[in-house]
A and B are shown apart, each in its own frame.
Chain A
């Protein structure tokens, strides 16, 4: 600590330790010596490079066309994180820098006189529109006169098994959704929009919409508990039982009946009145 730092601290009304840290930071930034910075703060040097005041460039109120948005609220603090705010007292007012700061430069961060309430109304309106068209509309189950429903009558155990299926995140890897396209031929009846299975959005494992018609319960149980590459689920015997029940009851075709897939016209067979074998 020196006389200079003490003088600067007295002039600014800031604890001397903070002044010293601030001066070191400022000196490092500006290429000046610490003493020069302290001298400036104490009132004896150039103000331009060294005043640690929060004076903003817009203090001089430039014309609206030139004014930056940021500067009115921004100044510089001489050093790092605040330490003891309680020690701070009002310092001597330093001279303000006048005029638009970067002479000859184009203004940056220039805004326009919008009405935020109008923008907000547009934001909400857009959301309502996309919600209606992108979520509500597609979710409304449409009537398919004559079409086979894909709703399956699960037993109470099956419903509980579906909850287990969901909580385990089985739907992250398995779909229960058969699409009317070539790649899904053989998976079972095409899934319609009234399906009560867990549709899923990824198929890192086989589709399970018709698992019950394809695999016996013992094999389903073996896979669920870790057969082959399948991650083994840690389940109580009752949870395992209802999960297997759910998958066994997941049948979209009668056992032994060939899946309709797509018909000769390329249309999903499930959307033709008599096609398919959904019970």
Chain B
């Protein structure tokens, strides 16, 4: 604990505030990329329905949208949350602010140059990011730096007891570079087509469960308890949710290739063990719900907390859908269709942004000394996201089911073949639903604009409020 006031002042202005400026910078950059990614995702859905904006086909727009949303928004924004909570939970300054800044710059440069590379047709076409190998390397480096920083900070912690958020943060920052490293190794030229496909799915699924939902939920456990001022209902539930989400990562991926060329045992194992996904999501949602039991009135006027609560429950819906589709009976209809596209969309633009807002809306006033510029915009983000992304999830998911049954019916009835010139007849059955999904995507995009407006407006023109500052024990030593 600080021994003198002078030490405190020096620490929080010279050292402690630096982490908070870093966190705010991550939130700002992430918000900008969310808008860009939202535009690209709308264009991708347009291409899915109408065939593309030549030469920008779905094949280029989708990896560009993925890159922007996954790395530009979800990695950078959640890292902002990580840098926000780490000093507060450990009582120690961040291991290296410079390292964190360098990491942010590399991430931004990789995303920007990756977008240009893919747009010009120099991507490698691998899912989900489509980056060429020479951009994979700096990206792997940038994803590794937060792990070094976070673990280094935890190693120097003053607070010897571990709040559950630290588990989720440790898991996320360690798993993310490992996931990407496995993806890079799995897409080397000498790897088989099967390995390359599995590694793309492995990374996509792991990114959602091991990064977005793990870190997002963990950070929300911090802001929820801090802002609502109620104790977490159950540490055991949180720990169960943590391990379940980690365990669920791979099964969602392989489940998309049900009946595919992989070994037969994978389908059965994926279906059974994939249940870990909804179990993990449900454990966390239950914990949030139990924590707020009797205190719901404390969150109704807090857009950040409301967003986090909705995000955790949205995660349950997505997890249940993904888990169901892992079973062979369902997978034979939904695999390869827009059903999975709907799930991925809901994760990247629904669960992810809601959980990010769960921490950013509450953290920004504390780290910048500025009140939310407009709580109405923050609420608009919540409403538009729920309606827009929920609508996309339902309609695009339904389109996938319609497509799947059309293929089945087509093959059975021989009314048309599901290849070549007969394809259009089969695919057109889902067209109206994809058109509606496109409309919902535009609503969701308005929500993304509201998020960016709320975040950027807060930092640039929010009303001055008391700012939370960091005070370190050993600042004067």
Contact = CB atoms under 8 A, between A and B. Distances in A.
Nearest to B172: A123
Given A138-B254, A179-B259, A167 B51 contact: no
A141 B229 contact: no
B249 interface: yes
B202 A85 contact: no
Measured as residues with beta carbon below 8 angstroms from the partner, the interface class of chain A is: 35 or more
A191 B251 CA distance: 21
Interface stretch (A2-10, A39-47, A86-94): A86-94
Given A114-B161, A135-B198, A183-B418, A76 B51 contact: no
Given A181-B259, A187-B418, A74 B222 contact: no
Interface in B402-424: 403-404, 407-408, 410-412, 417-420, 423-424
Please indicate which of the listed interface residues A54, A58, A85, A131 has the most CB atoms of chain B within 10 Å of its own CB.
Answer: A54
A94 B468 contact: no
Contacts of A195: 192-194, 261
Interface in A138-179: 138-142, 150, 165-173, 175, 177, 179
B55 A232 contact: yes
Interface in A187-227: 187, 191-207, 210, 214-215, 226
Contacts of A279: none
B254 A134 contact: yes
A113 B157 CA distance: 12
Given A55-B8, A75-B468, A196-B192, A127 B161 contact: no
Nearest to A115: B162
A231 B6 contact: no
Interface in A12-36: 21-22, 24-26, 28-29
Contact of B226 (A108, A150, A214): A108
B59 A108 contact: no
Nearest to B249: A130
Nearest to A92: B5
Contacts of A233: 54-55, 57
A278 interface: no
B472 A73 contact: yes
Contacts of A202: 336-338, 340-341
Interface of A: 21-22, 24-26, 28-29, 52-56, 58-59, 61, 64, 69-70, 72-82, 85, 88, 90-94, 102, 105-114, 116, 119-120, 122-124, 126-127, 130-131, 133-135, 137-142, 150, 165-173, 175, 177, 179-187, 191-207, 210, 214-215, 226, 228-234
